[in-house]
């Protein structure tokens, strides 16, 4: 069998690498229009950082895994085509700031229709609004009515930083298709690929629309848990409760469960905000404004949490950070990834720069250029940033440390010597509740976490 994936990003790359490694009898091609990205996938420096990914790619690349810009060739040759292109929030026109921008998915559908001379199974991997498959089907049917293509939805649930273990041992694989004979056959084909390493009882099959909606719903529920615990964190700070203790106490109730209850400076990443905005847009489109308003609160709470963090820093620094150096430890939206999309660090750094602070940013995996691109600020504001090679360098001569990503290496910092090098009073804000604040306070820091009274 030959398959290909259009889009060599955070989802397409790791997912196809896993399929290739688990299915030596399948030829897997990952194609992208971005030559630089493809070159990186073919080099020793992969375009994304993901623990365990390098080994898997090295094991299969050149055997049954190829990265290429020859989009047309691999579409033509493949029986199954995954679409894994970006679906950002629309930045123009109708649906601005809410709807998903589907122009990349549409371009793929048009390309497949134009190139294919044999029937294809087209698998939506990118997160898409409900009924996107209908758009893909319409394009295929109107452009090449004589070729009976099938569209299947197979949303990806991997989380960055744990992508390889998530792919290797998924809670479930979801595959949705049409209930026609052809639709069922297409679903079976995709089931066949995953059953090479995933137990059959973990492969859930549904109709197309349930599968598409389940992905948005899963992300909305996950984000909602974080906003819920973050809302409680604000109350903890006022009342003397400790949010981690509250999370542990409620998480032992088996109906609630312990996961995804870590209070933080806010959730980031390419999915949560985008998918909830998209869910709200859909609700409004289907004239369900109350449902849209309900989910919008999850995003409002996330914005509030980031702004609250900045305000607490300001208060601790006598209401001005102008000209003061603040060390920013971590810029990625979570540990073990170099991804900065929607990272809470972006909003927090922008706000601190607006307050005229000088920032010293250190992240173990995010490059200087990626930070500059994410902040997207005028040069004079970028001039107020020092890009550092280590946490020690960032903290040196700073007034305040803000921990924004929970990288393991931050636990190993020698805070005694950091304290010596700081301007006093030395302030530390742990936006991830990563550090032992009691120990840090004992050194002399004015140290605060999230949701700690």
Restricting to residues 24-53, name those near ligand UDX by CB under 6 A.
none
Contact with ligand UDX (CB under 6 A) among 28, 56, 216, 271: 271
CA 345 – CA 347 distance, rounded (Å): 6
Cα Rg for the chain, rounded, in angstroms? Answer: 23
The reply to whether 267 sits near ligand UDX by the rule CB under 6 A is yes
Q: Which helix (H) or strand (E) segment is 80 a member of?
A: strand 80-83
CB-CB neighbours of 312 under 10 Å: 15
Nearer to ligand UDX, 113 or 276 (CB): 276
Contact 434, 440 (CB under 8 A): no
3-state secondary structure of 176: strand
- Token pair recorded at residue 133: 């498959």
Catalytic residue among 23, 236, 271, 395: 271
User: Which span sits near ligand UDX by CB under 6 A: 17-25, 101-109, 265-273, 371-379?
Assistant: 265-273
The reply to whether 278 sits near ligand ADP by the rule CB under 6 A is no
Contact 270, 341 (CB under 8 A): yes
With CB under 5 to 8 Å by kind, the binding choice for 37 among ligand UDX, ligand ADP, none is: ligand ADP
388 is catalytic: no
- How large is the greatest C-alpha to C-alpha distance in the chain, in angstroms? 75
Output phi, psi for 175, to 5 deg. -135, 120
How many residues touch ligand UDX under the rule CB under 6 A: the total is: 19
Contact 355, 313 (CB under 8 A): no
Contact 138, 95 (CB under 8 A): no
3-state secondary structure of 27: strand
- Token pair recorded at residue 57: 């790619």
CA 337 – CA 365 distance, rounded (Å): 7
The reply to whether 226 sits near ligand UDX by the rule CB under 6 A is yes
Choose among 290, 373, 356, 274: nearest CA to 321: 356
Restricting to residues 110-169, name those near ligand ADP by CB under 6 A.
126
Contact with ligand UDX (CB under 6 A) among 111, 262, 325, 351: 262
Contact with ligand ADP (CB under 6 A) among 17, 56, 65, 108: 108
Q: Mark residues 316-345: x for contact with ligand UDX by CB under 6 A, - for none.
A: -----------------xx-----------
The reply to whether 260 sits near ligand UDX by the rule CB under 6 A is yes
The reply to whether 370 sits near ligand ADP by the rule CB under 6 A is no
Contact with ligand UDX (CB under 6 A) among 268, 330, 364, 451: 268
Which residues are identified as catalytic? Answer: 271
Contact residues: ligand UDX, CB under 6 A: 156-160, 219, 222, 226, 260-262, 264, 267-269, 271-272, 333-334
Contact residues toward ligand ADP (CB under 6 A) are 6-12, 32-34, 37, 71, 84-86, 104, 107-108, 126, 270
């Amino acid at each position: 069998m030959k398959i290909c994936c259009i889009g060599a990003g955070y989802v397409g790359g790791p997912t196809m690498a896993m399929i290739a490694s688990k299915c030596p009898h399948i030829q897997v091609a990952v194609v992208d229009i971005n030559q630089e990205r493809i070159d990186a996938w073919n080099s020793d420096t992969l375009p994304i950082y993901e623990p365990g990914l390098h080994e898997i790619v090295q094991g299969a690349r050149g055997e049954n895994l190829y990265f290429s810009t020859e989009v047309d060739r691999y579409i033509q040759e493949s029986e199954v085509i995954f679409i894994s292109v970006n679906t950002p929030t629309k930045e123009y026109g109708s649906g601005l700031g809410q709807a998903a921008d589907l122009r990349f998915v549409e371009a793929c559908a048009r390309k497949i229709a134009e190139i294919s001379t044999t029937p294809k199974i087209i698998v939506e991997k990118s997160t898409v609004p409900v009924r996107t498959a209908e758009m893909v089907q319409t394009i295929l049917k109107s452009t090449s009515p004589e070729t009976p293509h099938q569209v299947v939805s197979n949303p990806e649930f991997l989380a960055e930083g744990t992508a390889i273990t998530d792919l290797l041992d998924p809670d479930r694989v979801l595959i949705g298709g049409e209930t026609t004979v052809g639709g069922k056959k297409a679903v079976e084909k995709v089931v066949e690929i995953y059953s090479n390493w995933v137990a059959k009882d973990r492969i859930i099959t549904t109709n197309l629309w349930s599968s598409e909606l389940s992905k948005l719903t899963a992300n909305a529920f996950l984000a909602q848990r974080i906003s819920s615990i973050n809302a409680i964190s604000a109350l903890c700070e006022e009342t003397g409760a400790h949010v981690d203790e509250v999370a542990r106490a409620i998480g032992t109730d088996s109906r609630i469960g312990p996961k995804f209850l870590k209070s933080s400076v806010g959730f980031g990443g390419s999915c949560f905000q985008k998918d909830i905005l998209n869910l709200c847009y859909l609700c409004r489109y289907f004239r369900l404004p109350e449902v849209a308003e309900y989910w919008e609160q999850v995003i409002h709470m996330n914005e509030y949490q980031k702004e609250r963090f900045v305000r607490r820093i300001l208060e601790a620094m006598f209401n001005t950070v102008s000209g003061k150096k603040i060390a920013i430890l971590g810029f990625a939206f979570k540990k073990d990834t170099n991804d900065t999309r929607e990272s809470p660090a972006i909003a927090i750094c922008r706000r601190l720069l607006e307050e005229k602070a000088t920032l010293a940013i250190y992240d173990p995996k995010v490059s200087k250029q990626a930070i500059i691109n994410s902040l997207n600020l005028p040069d004079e504001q970028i001039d107020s940033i020092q890009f550092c090679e280590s946490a020690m360098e960032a903290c040196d001569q700073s007034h305040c440390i803000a921990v924004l990503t929970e990288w393991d290496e931050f636990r190993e910092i020698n805070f005694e010597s950091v304290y010596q090098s700081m301007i006093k009073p030395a302030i530390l804000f742990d936006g991830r509740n990563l550090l032992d604040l009691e120990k840090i306070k004992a050194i002399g820091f004015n140290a605060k976490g999230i949701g700690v009274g």
